[in-house]
Amino acid sequence: MGRTACCSRVGLRRGPWTPREDTLLVNYIQLHGEGHWRIVPKKAGLLRCGKSCRLRWMNYLRPDIKRGNITADEDDLIIRLHTLLGNRWSLIAGRLPGRTDNEIKNYWNSHLSKRLNTNTSCYKKSPKEASKSCEKPKSKIHLPKPIRVSQFSSTKKDSFDGGSTSMASGSEYSAHGEDCAEVFNLYSLELGRDGGGNKDDDFVNNDSIIIGKGCEKSTSLDQLSLGKDDMLDKIFEEYQQLLEVEDHLQSNFSFC
DNA sequence: AAGGCATACAACCGCCTTTCA
DNA sequence: ATGAAAGGCGGTTGTATGCCT
Q: Choose among A144, A218, A213, A221: nearest CA to A178.
A: A218
pLDDT in the model for residue A111: 81
Q: Are residues A102 and A217 in the same domain?
A: yes
Q: Is the pLDDT of residue A218 over 70?
A: no
Chain B nucleotides reached by a protein CB under 7 Å: 7-14, 16-20
Residue nearest to nucleotide B8 (CA to C1'): A110
Is A108 among the domain residues? yes
Is A225 among the domain residues? yes
Is A67 among the domain residues? no
Separation between Cα atoms, residue A119 and residue A79, nearest integer Å: 13
Q: Are residues A29 and A109 in the same domain?
A: no
pLDDT in the model for residue A63: 85
Which CATH number fits the domain that encloses residue A10? 1.10.10.60
Query: Each residue of A240-255: pLDDT tens digit?
Result: 666 666 566 555 544 4
- Count how many domains chain A has: 2
Q: Are residues A190 and A244 in the same domain?
A: yes
Separation between Cα atoms, residue A188 and residue A179, nearest integer Å: 14
Question: What domain range is A55 assigned to?
Answer: 6-61
Residue nearest to nucleotide B7 (CA to C1'): A110
What residues contact A147, with CB distance under 8 A and at least 6 apart? A200, A203, A204
Is A244 among the domain residues? yes
Q: Are residues A206 and A131 in the same domain?
A: yes
Residue nearest to nucleotide B11 (CA to C1'): A15
Is A66 among the domain residues? no
For the ranges A6-15, A27-36, A201-210, the one whose mean pLDDT is highest: A27-36
Residue A7: which nucleotide is closest by CA–C1'?
B12
Is A1 among the domain residues? no
For the ranges A43-47, A67-71, A152-156, A181-185, the one whose mean pLDDT is highest: A43-47
Query: Each residue of A79-101: pLDDT tens digit?
Result: 888 888 888 888 888 888 889 88
Name the percent of chain A lying above pLDDT 90.
1
Burial class (CB in 10 A: 0-12, 13-18, 19+), A213: exposed
Collapsing DSSP to helix, strand or coil, A13 comes out as: coil
Helices (DSSP H) in chain A: which residue ranges? Answer: 19-32, 40-44, 50-56, 72-85, 89-94, 101-107, 113-118, 127-133, 166-176, 178-191, 199-205, 221-224, 228-252
Q: Are residues A46 and A160 in the same domain?
A: no
Q: Are residues A53 and A128 in the same domain?
A: no
Residues 193-252 of A with CB under 7 A from strand C: none
Residues 15-44 of A with CB under 7 A from strand C: 15-16, 35-38
Q: Are residues A44 and A125 in the same domain?
A: no
